[in-house]
A and B are shown apart, each in its own frame.
Chain A
Amino acid sequence: MDKDNFYELIHKYISQNITDEELNTLHQYMELNQKNRDLFDAFTTSARNSSSDRYLEERASAILSRGIHEEKVSIAKRRRFVFDKLYARIAVAALALILLGTLFYLYNYSQTVDEFNQVVKTGKAERLHFVMADGTKVWLNSESAIHFNKGFGKTNRAILLSGEAYFDVESNKELPMTIDSRETSVKVIGTSFNIRAYDDEEVIETSLVEGVIELFVKDNTASTGKHILAPGEKLKVFRSKEIKEDSKREEMITTDNSQDLVEVGQIVRSHFIHPELKTVPSEIAWKENKLAFDGEPLELAISKLEKWYNIKIIVANSSLANLHVSGTFQDESIEEVLQFLQFSGADFQFVTKNNTIYIQ
């Protein structure tokens, strides 16, 4: 049997132009040895990925919800042609002025969730990746929501965030993007960064991967005002008045010989990307479906675990509060994660009862 003939048969097979007799010969070649089978498989097996039904459902739904928004904009555009008479135009102009004035007033004096009437949100143990109308890519972590209004991408790029999200912002100099959480406001042109701002956690973390962002602290504290972040920097804004001794020590340890540690009132600035380490920083690992802890207090780790696994965790032993944990997990169960933490030196026991885990 010669090699060229084998390849010619594969060619005929691929082109769906093979006779039964030739197919028989091809099978004989493959029965000869494993190597021929491998070769045939390589040439004929699809390398195409098969997404799960659930994943496809998520992607399709994200498009449909994006579609609703864009459709409304285009319907609005079409209707405009009705007003082609002069008086109609004047009336519209006058109305627009009044409306603009009202909007300006509303914007300045009562910026509320009502204005942000479009919403994308995730439940517990749920994560979502989608693209906004302006091309900005958003990864939304568990129990999070972003609100925006109908003109997003056209007249404004204002987002209201609760929870955690990673933004890969499409550059647009004319229309900067603002992302508001309860205590901070971030202004960007085109960058990639992560914000963690859960209402039930006492720190808001903003981590910048690429570009530049301006962060405003709204609260009237010592740190109120503008802070500029450079790539690789992370800014923690503490909600409570005093920085917990605990967290401060953690920052000191992780940025050990770095000169960049600055504390301004309630703010801690640090570097979260360490070029010498090839691993993905824990701040952004979640968007690749990895749950990561980087020497962080047990309290924060538990908050992350609760949201990731949709489970309630109760710490019965207060002396565990000073514990710091590290590790990266993908597709592990909550029990496996806790067992790993035990192995790696965290001294605790846990029991599971009714979807609740008790740690002591």
Chain B
Amino acid sequence: MDCTSLLLAIANDRDESAFKKLFYHFYDDLVHFSASITNDFNSSEDLVADLMLKVWTEPKDILSIKNIKTYLFKAIKNRSLNYLSRSKTHEYYLSHPHLNDVPSTPEDLLISKEFIKQFNQLVDKLPPKTKMAFILVKDNLCSYAEAAEIMEISTHTVDRHIQIALQRLKAELEKNNSLINSEL
């Protein structure tokens, strides 16, 4: 997708269809990423809507942006973290991480549902930054380089987080589950 020409069309021509293209392209990814921080799908939808509204109403700001993708992810990261800190349900969700039942995709239906569910619960228990890096990379939202820019860390550190995530998940899976112990 040619983001630069879309941004120009949005800022200069006030082209609604260009805005919609941008919206369709990033909406699900941004909501998914935000929900991994807030643990609240509905609020994340609102946070993303607010962000996209800003893109539409203050387009002059976006013209100076080099990479719209990392800009949007960085912005939604900050908004999600702010939301989390002022959210009164914060404590509640932290103590009930299993409430974060992200709606499943059709692909999920093909593989062992129960296992995926268990796996996603383990992902929720990862340390926040490790979880953030893991979600960004694993869920195909970003490359290492993009994740590094969004999280404002080096690509090396992103890789460290992925390694930590893999190690922890492996340990947890082996602890909880005879599923993988046997035949490997």
Q: Which residues of A contact B (CB under 8 A)?
A: 1-3, 6-7, 10-11, 14-16, 29, 32-39, 41-51, 53, 56-57, 59-60, 62-64, 66-67, 70-71, 74, 130-131, 137
* Contact segment of B68-76, B90-98, B176-184: B176-184
What is the chain A residue whose CB lies nearest that of B169?
A43
A246 to chain B, nearest CB (A): 37
Q: Are B27 and A46 in contact (CB under 8 A)?
A: no
- A-chain residues with CB within 8 Å of residue B182 when the two chains form the complex: 35
- Per the 8 Å Cβ criterion, residues 131-184 of B in contact with A are 135, 137-141, 143-144, 159, 162-163, 166-167, 169-170, 173, 179-180, 182-184
In the bound complex, what is the Cα–Cα distance between A6 and B16 (angstroms)? 48
Instruction: Report the bound CA distance from A34 to B143 in whole Å.
Output: 28
How many residue-residue contacts, CB under 8 A, span A and B? 136
CA gap between A39 and B112 in the complex, in Å: 10
Q: Is B65 an interface residue (CB 8 A)?
A: no
In the assembled complex, the Cα of A16 lies from the Cα of B137 at a distance in Å of: 10
* Contact A48/B28 with A42-B115, A43-B138, A70-B57 known, Cβ cut-off 8 Å: yes
Quote the shortest CB–CB distance from A192 to chain B (angstroms): 13
With A41-B116, A47-B120, A50-B28 known as contacts, the answer to whether A64 contacts B19 (CB < 8 A) is yes
B1 interface residue per 8 A CB criterion:
no
Tell yes or no: B107 within 8 A of A by CB: yes
The reply to whether A49 and B32 form a contact with Cβ atoms under 8 Å apart is yes
Quick one: which of B19-42 are within 8 Å of A by CB? 19-20, 23-24, 27-29, 31-32, 41
* Residues in B lying within 8 Å of A, measured CB to CB: 16, 19-20, 23-24, 27-29, 31-32, 41, 45-46, 49-50, 52-53, 56-57, 102-108, 111-112, 115-116, 119-120, 123, 135, 137-141, 143-144, 159, 162-163, 166-167, 169-170, 173, 179-180, 182-184
Decide: B53 and A70 in contact? CB cutoff 8 A: yes
Contact A59 B107 (CB under 8 A): no
Specify the chain A residue showing the minimal Cβ separation from B22: A60
Beyond the given pairs A49-B103, A49-B105, A56-B27, 20 more chain A to chain B contacts, judged by CB atoms under 8 angstroms and listed by A's residue number, are A15-B159, A16-B143, A16-B144, A32-B183, A37-B111, A38-B116, A42-B115, A43-B169, A47-B120, A48-B29, A48-B32, A49-B32, A51-B27, A59-B45, A59-B49, A60-B20, A60-B24, A60-B52, A63-B23, A131-B46
Task: Say yes or no: A67 contacts B183, CB within 8 Å.
Answer: no
Q: Which 7 A-B pairs have the closest CB atoms?
A: A48-B32, A46-B139, A42-B119, A67-B56, A60-B23, A41-B111, A49-B103
Select from chain A the residue with minimum beta-carbon distance to B31. A49
Given A32-B183, A41-B116, A63 contacting B52 (CB threshold 8 A): yes
Q: What separation, in Å, do the CA atoms of A32 and B56 have in the docked complex?
A: 51
A35 and B179 within 8 A (CB): yes
Known: A38-B112, A47-B32. A10 touches B139 (CB 8 A): no
In the complex, the answer to whether B56 meets A63 with C-beta atoms within 8 Å is yes
Asked whether, in the complex, the Cβ of B28 is within 8 Å of the Cβ of A51, the reply is yes
How far, in whole Å, are A63 and B51 apart by their CA atoms in the complex?
Answer: 10
Q: How far is the CA of A56 from the CA of B26 in the complex (A)?
A: 10
Nearest residue (CB) in A for B179 is A35
Q: In angstroms, how far is the closest chain A Cβ from the Cβ of B15?
A: 11
Nearest residue (CB) in B for A130 is B49
Partner of A45 from B116, B162, B180 at Cβ < 8 Å: B116
